[in-house]
Amino acid sequence: MLKNWILTAAHCATAVGDNTPVDVFLGATNLGVKEIHIAELIVHEGNDPDTLDNDLALLRLESDSSNPTIDIIEPEDPQGLASPGTMTTVIGWRTTSEAGTPSQDLLEVEVPIVSEETASTAHQPLGSKITENMIAAGLPEGSKDTCQDDSGGPFPVMSPEKSFILAGATSWGIGCARPGLPGIYTRLSRYSDWLSEHLV
């Protein structure tokens, strides 16, 4: 990523009114920090608010950030960095349990990536469709997951060089950490052309 761009979920961006100022917190582990203003918001044109397919947006900062950036996964993930079984550490601020209370401190949890087939089998009976633009992660027994209002947060994987690579963004789920219902994230390896077009 470039120093003046933030990647997030489209449904977070579209929840903000056209004339509403947007701020982000950079490099923070507690919400009591100074915010940074946003100059531009770009929502993926294929975003479907009903299915949350193409759940991706970009925020351009008014000026470059001094914080470290993170590389985005390569097109179609040729190294298989986001393959089923790979562990990812998902990060978020908000509720610590289903319908629970928000956290003021940044939290993280490690969960394994699961196959598209496994995720589809789990979610199909509930009327939810898993597309190729989505990636799922979670434990079969549940207990660990992102939760309400964590949307747009990072979904990193580890490169062979032991550096973090951004492979996704928190998108949606049924409840939080329910057994057999992995959380769903936007699969960034499907969006290389779109990101290249806008990240200038």
Is residue 197 within a helix (H) or strand (E), and if so which, with residue range? helix 192-198
Catalytic residue among 11, 123, 171, 189: 11
Q: Which residue out of 53, 77, 128, 151 is catalytically annotated?
A: 151
The yes-or-no answer on residue 198 being catalytic is no
Q: Pairing state of beta strands 71-72 and 164-172?
A: parallel
Contacts 24+ apart (CB under 8 A), 73-79: 73/157, 73/165, 73/166, 73/167, 73/188, 73/189, 74/189, 74/192, 75/189, 75/192, 75/193, 76/189, 76/190, 76/192, 77/167, 77/189, 79/159, 79/160
State how far the alpha carbon of 178 is from the alpha carbons of 67, 141, 186, in Å.
35, 7, 20
Is residue 151 part of the annotated active site? The answer reads: yes
User: How many CA within 13 A on the CB side of residue 102?
Assistant: 9
**Whether residue 65 lies in the annotated active site:** no
Structure tokens at 21: 């100022």
Which residues are annotated as catalytic? 11, 55, 151
